[in-house]
Amino acid sequence: MKDLLAALGLMLAIEGLCLAAFPGAWRKAMRAVLHAPETPMRLAGLGVGALGVLVVFLVRSF
C-alpha cells in the first residue's frame, strides 16, 4: 500500500511540474483530448497501463 501511495504521489508531482512549466501546451493537449475519439483513447490507456505494470514488474524483480 505504501508503494501505491508513493507512486500516486510521484505521478501527481510530475503532472504538477509539467502543468507549471508548460500551461499553454497542457491546455492545448486537453483540448485535443476532448475532441479525440474514444476507441483510440481506450487503447492508449490500456497500452500505457500495461507498460506501467511491466515497468513495476521489472523494477521489483531486479
5-62 tens-digit pLDDT: 988 999 999 999 999 999 999 999 999 999 999 999 999 999 999 999 999 899 889 8
**Rounded to two decimals, what is the model's pTM?**
0.68
Question: Which residues lie closer than 8 Å to 6 by C-beta, 6 or more apart?
Answer: none
Spatial contact of 26 and 19, defined as CB atoms under 8 Å apart: yes
Report the alpha-carbon distance of residue 53 to residue 26 in Å, rounded.
25
Angstrom distances, CA of residue 46 to CA of 23, 25, 52, 59: 26, 24, 10, 20
The residue ranking higher by pLDDT, 3 or 12, is: 12
Query: pLDDT value at position 4?
Result: 85
Task: State the Cα torsion 16-55-48-53 to the nearest 10°.
Answer: -110
The domains of the chain are located at 2-61
Instruction: Provide the 3-class DSSP secondary structure of residue 11.
Output: helix
Query: pLDDT value at position 50?
Result: 96
